[in-house]
Amino acid sequence: MKVKVTEEKCIGCGNCVMLTESKVFDFNDAGNAECIVDEVPEELEETVKEAIEQCPTGAIEE
For residue 53, the surrounding DSSP H or E stretch is helix 45-54
Predicted confidence at residue 39, as pLDDT, reads: 98
How many CA atoms lie within 13 Å of 23's alpha carbon, on the beta-carbon side? 12
CATH number at residue 55: 3.30.70.20
Count structural domains, the chain: 1
Q: What is the mean pLDDT of the chain?
A: 97
- In percent, the amount of the chain with pLDDT more than 70 equals 100
pTM comes to 0.92
Which range marks the domain in which residue 21 is found? 4-61
DSSP calls for 7-58: TTT-----HHHHHTTTSSEEE-TTS-EEE--SS--GGGHHHHHHHHHH-TT-
Q: Is 11:38 a contact under the CB 8 Å cutoff?
A: no
Predicted confidence at residue 19, as pLDDT, reads: 96
> What are 37-51's pLDDT values in tens digits?
999 999 999 999 999
